Amino acid sequence: MIVIADTSPLNYLVLIGEAEILQRLYHRVIIPEAVLRELRHPETPSAVLEWIAHRPAWLEIERITALPDPELRLLGEGEREAIILAEQHGPDVLLLVDEGKGRREAQRRNLRTTGTLGVLNDAVTRGWIDLSSAFERLRQTTFRASPSLLQSLLDRNKSKKS
């Protein structure tokens, strides 16, 4: 399986100290050049700037070869390029994207998606992390998710342990 990431999941996983989960789950992750630019933006948190400056070998950068898609004009540059790159790779792709508009557009194009919460949930099912601790660290960032969604994931995780 090929995994393409938008900026947001990488940003938040780095901020909570869980970026290595991506390598454990997927072995390698590909980002388009626009995501690299966003991760290097001067307003990016310093931990993310440091991480991308010394990016791990499992994080690959790939240039999109398709022409810009006008249907994606309302999305951010990273989301646009991540969706185009995912389409270039064909059907066996997982797109990591958090933002609702980008996720809906990717799903409309029949791309499989997950986001920061899905990655964390997959790591929890393998016993690699504690979900409540990861959520507490997420709350210290600008990550936004409804409290009811977070609680439902915590409840589901507790019921699996019982």
* Structural domains present in the chain: 2-161 (3.40.50.1010)
Rounded to whole angstroms, how far apart are CA atoms 157 and 19?
21
Residue 60, beta-bridge partner list: 30
At 95-109, the pLDDT tens digits run: 999 999 999 999 999
At 110-156, the pLDDT tens digits run: 999 999 999 999 999 999 999 999 999 999 999 998 888 888 888 88
Question: Has residue 162 got a pLDDT over 70?
Answer: no
Contacts of 32 (CB under 8 A, 6+ apart): 4, 61, 62, 63, 64, 78, 81, 82, 84, 85
- Please name the residue ranges forming H helices in 17-69: 20-26, 33-39, 46-53
Calculate the CA 161 to chain-centre distance: 26
pTM of the model: 0.93
Backbone angles phi, psi at 101, to 5 degrees: -65, -45
**Residue 103 has which token pair?**
């996720």
